[in-house]
A and B are shown apart, each in its own frame.
Chain A
Amino acid sequence: MGMRRVAIVGAGLTKFVRRAQETGKELAYEAAKMALDSCELTLEDVGCVSLGTAPDAFDGVHMKGEYLSDGAGGWRKPVMRPYVGGGTGVFNAIHGWFHVASGLFDICLVVAEEKMSSCYPHPAGAFLTIFDHTTEQPLKPNLIWIFALEMRRYMETYGISHRDIALVSVKNKKNAMDHPCAQIPQEITVDDVLNSEVLADPVHRLDISPTSDGAAALVLVAEHIAKKITDKPVWIDGVGWNVDTAYWATRDLCYPRYVEKAARMAYEMAGIKEPHKEIQVAEPYDPFDYKELHHMEGLLLCGKGEAPRLTAEGVTARDGNLPTCPSGGLLGVGNPIAASGVMKICEIFWQLRGEAGKRQVPGKPKVGLAQAWGDLMQVGTVIVMKV
């Protein structure tokens, strides 16, 4: 394809919290600095910066990319900001991959930041204006109720119960107990989820990830640099992304076709023929518990409607055959939108290098996947990583 092979050689992550005292720039700096330090590179070595951050309305700075750039290491450097809503984190790494794969740069610093707490009384207010201003906004829609619509379609189509879905929340929040950056690590039960406050039926409080402040970063380098500076490069061997229509009411919400298309693109590039057998550890996007299941199906890690069964059987547990969200996911680690997608890539990076500590999945995995999702339930972004 005429592209160069690209490796991840460093990763950095701040703790995810509900309210950080640090400004967005300061958060971006902490993650970027940690990523550079982890591979013993300096800012001087960095050729370009890819900066991912979700709607300007969260931080309340309406040119957030440029505003954050110096904290992200972009001072007098080529900086670009990709943006696809909640899918931004993984898309940001794909965007960084382009910069290196194309041959234009040898070293790209990929930084993602979100500071949702500036927006009050609740950052959900910033979502009011993502909807069509004429046909939807007058109805005062909010994110939770459109997800409630989608969750119900999913349950109805495949005969899935809320108890089946709640298992994901239980699993991920528990996995997060082993993550030093986690915002809400918890040991809870399915009944806790079902008995938590109903926000928009069937969505209850414990079905949802929190709002968060935090940042994450990666260092992407060309093959010849990777071989020089590390014995453990993690290769980005497949990337894929896809966007469905914003007329979300015209779609069948039970299945994310756009995620499937993004996954197929990434699998073809990475030479993956049977994803359910070849992917050994995965971080599907889990802002809501049902979304992990939805995305496992879209990613072709199982058949349609089968993900709840795999979860109930323990297949997706950290010591199962196909561990999903060993990090604790957005449900446990937290969800500073763009940063959470990069957090997932950090996790797969550490898992494939055998550096995930207490979170390490057994069996020395060689192939992993991270995925994010966003906009009006319409975008899928996928990365396949190998050692």
Chain B
Amino acid sequence: MGITEKIKRNIDMTSWKDKIPVNYIYTVGIAGEKFFREIKDNGKIVGTKCEKCEVTFVPPKIYCERCFSRLENYIDVGTKGTVHTFTICYENVDGTKKEEPTIIAMVKIDGTDGGLVHWLGEIDSKDVEIGMSVEAIFKAKEEREGSILDIKYFKPT
């Protein structure tokens, strides 16, 4: 026995089976509270701007990571963006095949230095292109709960 022996299954050796049963509730934070409240209540996307560095953060931050200024000015940045890059995903997290592939895109929010990673919808995967204009589609107001999933997906404009 030992490292030179080829072992096909852990379970063939004496072992203790266990799991790590830990759960989390993550607060969205000070900036996150503004960001998600605007999405939920008004269907708007907000960011914060550092006037000194001329950088607009989306999602907003309470600080500029470049100069450490405190940022308190939340601005409506609109709901339109540009596909910066994308992928088409065929497998679920557990490795099983998805019934329908999903399109994941990194969307740069226009006029800002930030962006959101989200799904693309109302488009066939073979029609997706880098640089295409998209906009956020929100769930109906009564279904929104203050999460990133309040945005259903981005769709081509």
Give per-residue flags for A19-31: 1 if the beta carbon is below 8 A from chain B beta carbons, else 0.
Answer: 1111101100100
- Residue of B20, B27, B61, B65 near A21 (CB, 8 A) is B27
- Residue of A29, A42, A73, A137 near B62 (CB, 8 A) is A29
Contacting pair B22 A126 (CB below 8 A): yes
A228 within 8 A of B: no
Stretch from B29-37, B87-95, B119-127 contacting the other chain: B29-37
Contacting pair A120 B68 (CB below 8 A): no
Please report the C-alpha to C-alpha distance between residue A75 and residue B62 in the assembled complex, in whole angstroms. Answer: 15
Give per-residue flags for A105-131: 1 if the beta carbon is below 8 A from chain B beta carbons, else 0.
Answer: 000000000000111110001101100
Contacting pair B26 A20 (CB below 8 A): no
Q: Which residues from chain B contact A137 at a C-beta distance below 8 Å?
A: 16, 18
Give per-residue flags for B12-24: 1 if the beta carbon is below 8 A from chain A beta carbons, else 0.
Answer: 0001101011111
| Residues of chain A in range 1-54 having any CB-CB distance to chain B below 8 Å | 19-23, 25-26, 29, 32-33, 36, 42-44
Contacting pair B20 A23 (CB below 8 A): no
A138 within 8 A of B: yes
A332 vs chain B, min Cβ distance (A): 25
Contacting pair B65 A133 (CB below 8 A): no
Contacting pair B27 A118 (CB below 8 A): yes
Contacting pair A75 B66 (CB below 8 A): yes
Q: In the complex, how many residues of chain B place their beta carbon closer than 8 angstroms to a beta carbon of chain A?
A: 25
Please report the C-alpha to C-alpha distance between residue A25 and residue B59 in the assembled complex, in whole angstroms. Answer: 14
Contacting pair A125 B22 (CB below 8 A): yes
Residue of A nearest to B20 (CB): A129
Please report the C-alpha to C-alpha distance between residue A71 and residue B63 in the assembled complex, in whole angstroms. Answer: 8
Q: Which residues from chain A contact B11 at a C-beta distance below 8 Å?
A: none
Please report the C-alpha to C-alpha distance between residue A128 and residue B20 in the assembled complex, in whole angstroms. Answer: 8
> With A33-B68, A33-B70, A36-B68 in contact, is A23–B18 under 8 Å at CB?
no
Contacting pair A21 B24 (CB below 8 A): no
Residue of A nearest to B66 (CB): A75
Contacting pair A118 B25 (CB below 8 A): yes
Please report the C-alpha to C-alpha distance between residue A365 and residue B18 in the assembled complex, in whole angstroms. Answer: 52
Contacting pair B30 A21 (CB below 8 A): yes
> With A44-B67, A73-B68 in contact, is A138–B20 under 8 Å at CB?
no
B130 within 8 A of A: no
Contacting pair A26 B29 (CB below 8 A): yes
B22 vs chain A, min Cβ distance (A): 5
Contacting pair B29 A42 (CB below 8 A): no
B114 vs chain A, min Cβ distance (A): 13
Contacting pair A57 B22 (CB below 8 A): yes
> With A36-B68, A60-B26 in contact, is A125–B63 under 8 Å at CB?
no
B149 within 8 A of A: no
- B-binding residues in A (CB < 8 A): 19-23, 25-26, 29, 32-33, 36, 42-44, 57, 60, 70-71, 73, 75, 117-121, 125-126, 128-129, 133-134, 137-138
17 A-B residue pairs with CB within 8 Å: A21-B27, A25-B29, A26-B29, A32-B68, A33-B63, A42-B67, A43-B67, A70-B65, A117-B27, A118-B25, A118-B27, A120-B24, A125-B22, A128-B20, A129-B20, A133-B18, A138-B18
Given contacts A22-B30, A26-B29, A120-B25, 13 further A-B contacts (CB under 8 A): A23-B27, A23-B30, A26-B62, A29-B68, A36-B68, A43-B66, A43-B67, A73-B68, A119-B23, A128-B20, A133-B16, A133-B18, A138-B16
- A-binding residues in B (CB < 8 A): 15-16, 18, 20-33, 61-63, 65-68, 70
